[in-house]
Structure 1
Amino acid sequence: MPRQSLESLLESLNTSEHPGLVPLLGAVVDWLRPDGAETTEDVVERIQQLHDAQKGRSQKGEQPAAPDLRKHLQTSMAEARHLSLYTEIGLFSRRGFVRELGQRFYERINPRPRDPENLRDVLSQVFNRPGDTVWVTQVPDDAWILLLDALVDLDDTNGPALTRAREQVLYSLEMLSLWVAAEELEPELLRLDPDIAERNSPFVALERELSAYVRYYAQWLEDPKQDAHDDEHARVLLQQCMDQVDRFHKRAVTHGSSMSLTHLLERLDQTLTRISDLLDILKRDDNTCQRCAGARLFREMVVQNARQRSLRALWQDNIKLVSRSITEQSGETGEHYITQNRREYLQMLGSGAGAGLIIAFMALIKIQLMQMGLSPGVETFWVSLNYGLGFVLIHILHFTVATKQPAMTAARLSAAIEAGEKGAANQAQIARLLIQVGRSQFVAVLGNVSLALPVALLVGWASLAWLNQPVMDEAQMHYHLLELRPLAGLAIFHAAIAGVWLFVAGLIAGYFDNRSAYLQLGARLRDNPLLARVTPMGLRHRIADYLDKNYGALMGNFLFGVLLGVTGFIGLLLGLPLDIRHVAFASANLGYVASIEAMQSATFLMYFLFVLVIGAVNLWVSFALAMYVALRSRGVRLGDLRQLMRAYGRELRKDPQGFLLPPRHTPEDSQPKD
């Protein structure tokens, strides 16, 4: 359908009878909305034409075709209700996830009647196309200010539309400040900081200041000769509230978080930001600030109003909250998996070697279990137990499984990227951290493989020499060689599955660490009446302290082993070729095969290369998934990858050995001096 001309549009709206706010704005937006072949510049050009026509300055020099358009809009806007527009859109619901999901689903199948005088409902009816959020965000602020000026005349500050808008913004500001003050009594916040109930917190002080600000602002509107009550003190208190929310976030890492707490803190962040936006709109003697703030808020309203009707957006928001509450713990743990100097590097090598020693025997136990002729279910149970208890033993002995690192280090890296967006880090710092992460993972893999493979060889040779019996039969030997082949044995696919389980294990560890802190597990165990009857106080305290610090790691390691063990059984039930390949176990299996089969050097090197490929897939899949979740949970992006790669290259050129070996000097010494 061809787009009508501006004259035709204005003529159609030039009616003596009031058509209503939705038809008026709907017709204007339909005329502005770009079709598939148009760009943002076309929309801006039409806004300029409408502005010129309404101002009586069209290129033809003609008077506006329909001066009643403004009159109708002024009348409608003077009666419109704004409150839900400012206090609901873009702010997390207080109903919680389950009730909000049910409400949105019911709205889908049986929508409520729309109120033509409620601006939130007007917005949802006017911007009702799926692509509206895209072009609305692309149109610059100046263009939206021109459109608003064309429709309601921004120069007429005492006009009915702007007068009503100011009244509603003031009322919304007061309501939002009351909500912020009420949040102080939430048990979750009192748990994090009990002192806020015993002092004049910034939340209560902000409510009092904003209440006074609204009262004096209303008096100033009635009598502009009165002294103005500026918003400087309110903004100071607003910043103090934001600082307090940041402290809550930090305390949640050590005191434990929950879905409801993360939801509450995000809602507080959103509410405080909205208060700041409304203060900008009310800024006296600064029309530029008022108009720019209005344009920004308008764009946000269109986008967030569309998201608040979407089931998918609700799910994404809540997954983000869950991810953040879990990955906060992983971000703290990730510090221990990044080596920065020679001492830490050698410690990681030794820690990886210790894990390789244990994994060699875990692989041997699995080989023996598979030769016992057990039923698939029973075999899966014992294999899962072997993996789970083996990984728990590795953790208890302070050893490191190399592929467990990415899930932890990704959260640490995403925290650095988030800091970079806030100005506390830069691409060079992130590149240095990437090098440290890669180097740490390399040395841990080296430690795992350097002991798993030779120990397997020695055990295999010892079995032949002392027991005159190979550790596996010929069929198993061929099976283990086949499973190392990247394509024929589906090793790459199976290594990717192991990478997914590694990522999941990191989330599991973060979840249980968070639960331990949230439930105060250590304190509970120290005072547990049942344990007090059967264990001495010193032993009970040592157990409580250990579990308090290691609960997440123990559960993550055990369940990771279970996931590895049940994958093949799940594939059997589904009739799919599902299995796992892990670099340390693959190297041990190669060692056991080489102890029986007289392999040529070239053949052995080829299979060893296959083992390294499996390790690379393990690392990159788990790292990519963990990085994606960690970034999404913080709402940050990697940014310009080319710029990051250039920074990475510069760091490597400065210290080529740093790719695999840590520098001789400390990281502090490498920082530029002022």
Structure 2
Amino acid sequence: MLRKLFRKWRESRNASLQLDAILAAADPEAPLAERNGWLIELGFWIRRDGGLGADTDSQEPGTDRRHPEHVRLRYLLQVLERHPDWAGRFALTVRSLVRENDPTGLFCDTGVALHPGFVSEMVGRLQNRFLPPPPNRSDMAGLFALVFVGDEDAEWVEAIDDGLLARLARVLQAGSAGGEAAGMAHYRDALGQTLATSIAVLVSQVRATGLSQAIRSRLAGRVEETPFFRLDEAIQALREEGLRHDDNSFGHRLNYFRALLDGCHAAIRQVYEDLEENGVSVEVVFQIERMKVQLSRIELLLAAWVEPRRPGMHAHLVAELIRSTQARRSISHLAGTSFAQLARKVVERSAETGEHYITRDRKEYAELVRAAAGGGLVSVATVYLKFLIYGLHLDKFSEGLLASLNYAGSFLAIHFAHFTLATKQPAMTGPALAHRLDGAGRPEGREIFVDDTIAMIRSNAAAIVGNLAVVFPVALGIQWLAHKLLGANLITPAKAIATIESFSILGPTPLYAAFTGVLLWLSSLIAGWADNWFALHRVHDVMAYNRRLQYVLGARGATRLADFWKRNLSGIAANVSLGLLLGLGPEILSFFGPHMEVRHVTLSTGSVGAAIGVLGLDALRMPSLWLAVAGIALMGMLNVAVSFALAFNMALRSRNLRRVDRAELSAAVRRRILKHPLSLVIPPRAAGPETAAGGREA
């Protein structure tokens, strides 16, 4: 029984009644819900899979085989032309639906975000995915959304030729008072009035958004000088009663109104430029994107109102409304348009930082190695503090919190000492490398991309080697000195063996290492978001001109404090968030889902050094040690590869660069490596003028 019901439920998605049953059910006197349901059923029949028979198809030599819906529409018109009684009821029913369903919502709201903010609009779209509009309301927009539910509806509607549209118009005027010509004239007048009213409604919405504080504060000049302020007056002049479209006055007013629309688009670009410079707000971007849709809708309706007899105009109008309706059903489309600007801003901040991590000559290379050695030295203290924390055998949350403080303190020390932690680099260098793809379509741009790719690989490898070359011997040496001078081990032999075994390549180490790469990437996103927040809210100016700060620190002191946070907020946010993610992230995730641990190549290498210091040379005969060595090698690759891949992919998406010929770029990189293999290890003596970069920061 349940299987039968489930099968019928699946079939109901595309099932429909036969055409004769649908035409027989046409009743202009039926309740509105029944007539709306009748039109919905007709739409499903037109979109229904399967042919109508070879004889029917052959009767229409002009049939477009690419759109089977046209075949069914022609067949419908054939049947109606041969059965005047059906045609009369059909026309009366359709005209009653057009008359009783409010069309303003269709023209103004279809495909336009209805809620004032991003969150409320997302919740509304989620709700609409499970709760379609009811068919018993006099709302043309809701009926439109229920009729056109197919993915290809916009294409076949726009492809309808003028001859088929003319036949459909004649059928729909069957039985109209005063004859077909009078009916068509009445239809054009009513449609023109509705279009003009809808344009006026959209203008009021655009004007309200454009004059809101969020938009107005980002525009230059006085309020009355903005095009948004004058839009309402212009559309009212265009809709003046008795003004004909062929009058010269109408043409002048139309040109003025269109110039104001162009001014609105220019103002939107100005707002985007302000966002690029001073920080991105998702809510402002949402408002701007909604206003862009409304402006496009105004231009679409304006063309249909001013040029109603242009060939294909009505089919194009309906097709665009269908596309807008289907785009508004998409949550991913909403998130993409609202977050794209923020993602690009975050990526650009990461790319700016990533430039400092790419070394292009031997001087920069030597500085990076020294900075990486310093980072390895600080990591030794982190390793032994971690052993101390987990040796206390506290509850999981307390352990995670103390580990987070340990990691965050270590990373901040590395940052302010201008040292480098190798695994932080890939999440930053990925966006920097993606920016080079802007010119990768040209030979010189491709050459720059290859140069930076080789430099990025070389720099990341050097930083990892610099970290590991210090953290391993120093961690081992500290344990050796503790044993020689104090006669004590900093960790127990059992803990040392367990530590080595936990890094085995045969265990979950690869999974944990990939998970750590994700956390490294997330910290770069948090850093970019913090930098954007600082710029968006003008925190630098707030601090520099704060009355109480100036009283305590003086004007110069307040400015220096603001400058400090401007320079270091991104780095502080990245390091503190990375510490919290590495310490508390696995504990929180393990509480809700699968057990996870952190596997960071630098810290893990230091842990192995400390363990060997406890176990002595006997550790070299342990198979588990060499499995751990292999695990750490794979760990370093996964830490780097995962964080780099995520950052690089996000950069590609934020800049719409996914169509770049990746195969050609990969081949160019391979050719360079085969031709100059030592370039992966030894940098050139001097950087080229076109790729010279600034200083480096941790």
Same fold (TM over 0.5): yes
Contact 1:571 1:579 in 2 (8 A): no
How many pairs does the alignment contain? 643
Pair 1:333 & 2:350 matched: yes
Contact 2:16 2:48 in 1 (8 A): no
d(CA) in 1 for partners of 2:201 and 2:426? 45
Pair 1:503 & 2:521 matched: yes
TM-score by length of 1: 0.79
Deviations 1:30-76 (A, max 9, x none): 212335999xx988224234236527999xxx688843334543454
Pair 1:12 & 2:24 matched: yes
SS of aligned partner of 2:112: coil
Deviations 1:435-481 (A, max 9, x none): 84685265235313323343431342254147515553322322222
1:187 Cα offset (Å): 1.8
Aligned to 1:277: 300
Instruction: Report the residue type matching 1:180 in the other structure.
Output: V
Instruction: Report the residue type matching 2:379 in the other structure.
Output: I
d(CA) in 1 for partners of 2:454 and 2:186? 63
Pair 1:550 & 2:568 matched: yes
Aligned to 2:543: 525
d(CA) in 2 for partners of 1:269 and 1:407? 33
Aligned to 1:317: 334
Q: Which among 238, 248, 251 is matched to residue 271 of structure 2?
A: 248
Q: Which among 209, 214, 233 is matched to residue 183 of structure 1?
A: 209
d(CA) in 2 for partners of 1:606 and 1:352? 26
Pair 1:120 & 2:134 matched: no
d(CA) in 1 for partners of 2:68 and 2:590? 63
Distance 1:98 1:14, change over 3 A: closer
Q: Which among 72, 79, 90 is matched to residue 111 of structure 2?
A: 90
Pair 1:261 & 2:278 matched: no
Aligned to 1:483: 502
Contact 2:280 2:345 in 1 (8 A): no
d(CA) in 2 for partners of 1:415 and 1:18? 62
Distance 1:274 1:561, change over 3 A: same
d(CA) in 2 for partners of 1:426 and 1:34? 45
Instruction: Report the residue type matching 1:384 in the other structure.
Output: S
Aligned to 2:410: 390
Pair 1:202 & 2:227 matched: yes
Q: Which among 580, 594, 603 is matched to residue 585 of structure 1?
A: 603
Aligned to 1:34: 48
Distance 1:368 1:227, change over 3 A: closer
d(CA) in 2 for partners of 1:146 and 1:626? 53
Contact 1:78 1:160 in 2 (8 A): no
Pair 1:512 & 2:533 matched: no
Distance 1:475 1:536, change over 3 A: farther
1:547 Cα offset (Å): 0.6
TM-score by length of 2: 0.76
Deviations 1:6-39 (A, max 9, x none): 5x2674266675786524532321212335999x
Pair 1:615 & 2:641 matched: no
Bigger CA drift: 268-277 or 158-167? 158-167
Contact 2:516 2:582 in 1 (8 A): yes
Distance 1:498 1:244, change over 3 A: same
Distance 1:91 1:298, change over 3 A: closer
Q: Which among 202, 218, 221 is matched to residue 192 of structure 1?
A: 218
Q: Which among 74, 93, 96 is matched to residue 51 of structure 1?
A: 74
Aligned to 2:423: 403
Pair 1:360 & 2:376 matched: no
d(CA) in 2 for partners of 1:345 and 1:34? 66
1:151 Cα offset (Å): 3.8
1:580 Cα offset (Å): 0.6
1:136 Cα offset (Å): 2.6
1:581 Cα offset (Å): 0.8
The structure that has the greater radius of gyration is 2
SS of aligned partner of 2:151: helix
Deviations 1:137-166 (A, max 9, x none): 564731497875554369989544444333
Deviations 1:611-645 (A, max 9, x none): 232233223433455566667777x58348xx422
Aligned to 2:472: 456
SS of aligned partner of 1:535: helix
Bigger CA drift: 516-525 or 13-22? 13-22
Instruction: Report the residue type matching 1:321 in the other structure.
Output: S
Deviations 1:297-323 (A, max 9, x none): 13214414645xxxxx3x873586357
d(CA) in 1 for partners of 2:302 and 2:450? 41
> Mind listing any 5+ residue stretches in structure 1 that lack a counterpart?
308-312
Instruction: Report the residue type matching 1:276 in the other structure.
Output: E
Q: How does 1:122-141 map to 2 (within 5 A)?
A: 122-127=143-148, 132-136=149-153, 139=156, 141=158
> Mind listing any 5+ residue stretches in structure 2 that lack a counterpart?
1-10, 53-63, 173-179, 693-698
d(CA) in 1 for partners of 2:366 and 2:75? 73
Aligned to 2:61: none
d(CA) in 1 for partners of 2:310 and 2:573? 58
Instruction: Report the residue type matching 2:599 in the other structure.
Output: R
Instruction: Report the residue type matching 1:92 in the other structure.
Output: A
d(CA) in 2 for partners of 1:87 and 1:524? 41
Aligned to 2:3: none
Instruction: Report the residue type matching 1:622 in the other structure.
Output: S
Instruction: Report the residue type matching 2:227 in the other structure.
Output: P
